[in-house]
Amino acid sequence: MEFDVHIIGGGLAGSEAAWQLAQRGMRVRLSEMRGSGQGGTDAHQTDGLAELVCSNSFRSDDDEKNAVGLLHHEMRRLDSLIMRAGEVARVPAGSAMAVDRDVFSAEVQNALEAHPNVTIVRERVDELPQAGLTIVATGPLTAPTLAQSIVKATGEDRLAFFDAIAPIVHHETIDMSICWMAARWDKGGKDYINCPMTKEQYLAFVDGLNAAEKGEFKEWEANTPYFEGCMPIEVMAERGVETLRFGPMKPVGLDNPHWATPEHPNGRWPYAVVQLRQDNKLGTLWNMVGFQTKMKYAEQVRLFRIIPGLENAEFARLGGMHRNTFINSPVLLDRQLRLKGAEHIRFAGQVTGCEGYVESSAVGLLAGMMAAYQVTGREWIGPPRTSAMGALLAHVTGDAEGESYQPMNINFGLFPPLPDVNKKARKEAYTARAKSDFGQWLAALEPVPA
C-alpha cells in the first residue's frame, strides 16, 4: 500500500498516532521492530503493539481534581484508541484506571490490523527517512542504530534516565489472613491488597534493602540519572530510613482490620504498608505498587518474602531496569513536534521526554492529528495552553529550559496559574477552565474528512 505517513514504532504513541491518521482517511505504514527477527528490547516481553512494560496503571481517572484524569477526559473526546482499549481491558483499581495488559495490547493491535488504512510492517528502521512525512515514536528504548541516526541529524547528544519495572505476584500465594483489601481512606472501593508492617518489620526491611546485592550497570548505562517519578526502592531507602514511609509504603488512611481491638474495632494503622494492585482482569496477578528495583532476582525473592503476607509469594515477573532515551525536545522540535531543519520528521511519545503511558499516548495523538492536517493542507491550531494536552505540548516543545530538560508527567504545575483562586478550590478551577477552553477549541477545530 502506498502511504501518506510513515510511523516508526508500535508502542502507545505510535499506535495512537496511526489510529488518529487512519480515522481521518490517511494511509499509514506502521513499522515495528519487535517480531521482525531483527532485534527486540531489554524490557518488552511480547511482540504485541502498545505493550505495557512497567505498571499496568494509567493513574487517576478523576477528571475533576487530577491533571492526568483531565488528560484522560480530553483524549476520550478526541476518540483515543488507547483510552478505548483501556476501557475494554479495565480492572479494579479504586479511583485509578488500571488494565489487563494482555487484553489491552490485543485490543490496540486488533483495531489497527482491522483498519483498512493501516499497514503494519515488522521491520527495524535504522535511519531517519530523508523524505516523506514521518513520525518517530520509537519510545525510550530506541534501537542503537536509529538512535545514532537521530544524534547525527540533531547534532545533540542523547539524554537518558533509568526506568524500573515492578514485580508481579500470583494472587493465590498471598496470605490474606495477614493482608487485607482496601483503598486509602476507603476511596474507590477495596481495590488494593495491603501488607502491614510493624516498626520493627519495616526497619528490618529497609536494612535488607540497603544490604541487598544490586544488578551491575552496563558500561553504556554509567552516570545515567534516575527519573524521580519512578525511583527504585533501594535508591529511596538509601536517602533515609523514613523515605519509603512517605512514598510507596505510606500507611496513612489504611486501618488494618486484623489488628482490631475492643477500643479500636476497625483496626489501627500499621507503621508501613506494601500495596499490591490488580494486574489482570482475572485477578490472578497483582503488582507491587511503587516497587521498581534493580536488585538481583534472588535478592528480590528473598527480601520480598519477608513482607508480611508475602512469605510464600510466587512471582510471575520480578523487577528489572532499563535505560530510557529521549531527545532535548524544547531545543530540537518546533511547536508541531517537527524536527527543526527537517520538518518532514515528527517525534512523538516518550522519546520526546514526556513521561508516562497516558502522556506518551497524548503526544502521539497530537502528532497524528498534526500530520493529518499537514497532509491535507489545512491549518493546524493547537489545543489551548490551559488544557492538559496544551500544557503538555507546551512543556515538550518550548516551555521547559533546554539545558535542564527532564521527563515530566502531566501536572497542574504545567498549566497557566490561577493565583486569585482559593488554594483548596484550585484543582477544580484548573479542570473547569480546561474543559471549557478545550471544548471551545474542539468545536472550532476544522475537521479533516475521513
Sequence ranges of the binding site for FAD: 9-14
Which residue from 300, 340, 331, 334 is spatially nearest to 317, judged by alpha carbons? 300
Which residue from 136, 92, 62 is spatially nearest to 278, judged by alpha carbons? 92
The C-alpha R_g of the chain, in whole angstroms, comes to 22
Whether 293 contacts 213, CB under 8 Å: no
Q: What is the DSSP letter of 161?
A: E
Sheet holding 90-91, edge to edge: 57-60, 96-99, 90-91
Q: Distance of alpha carbon 195 from its chain centroid, rounded? A: 25
Residues 4-16: b if buried by 16+ CB within 10 A, e if exposed: bbbbbbbbbbbbb
> What are 27's three cell numbers?
494511509
Q: Find cell 528504548 and name the residue.
A: 141
Report which secondary-structure segment, H or E, holds 238. helix 233-238
**210 Cβ contact partners less than 8 Å away, ≥ 6 residues apart:** 234, 237, 238
Whether 53 contacts 45, CB under 8 Å: yes
d(CA 93, CA 258): 22
Q: Find cell 510513515 and name the residue.
A: 6
> What are 5's three cell numbers?
505517513
Question: According to the 3-state scheme, what is the secondary structure of 84-121?
Answer: HHHHHCEECCCCEEEECHHHHHHHHHHHHHHCCCEEEE
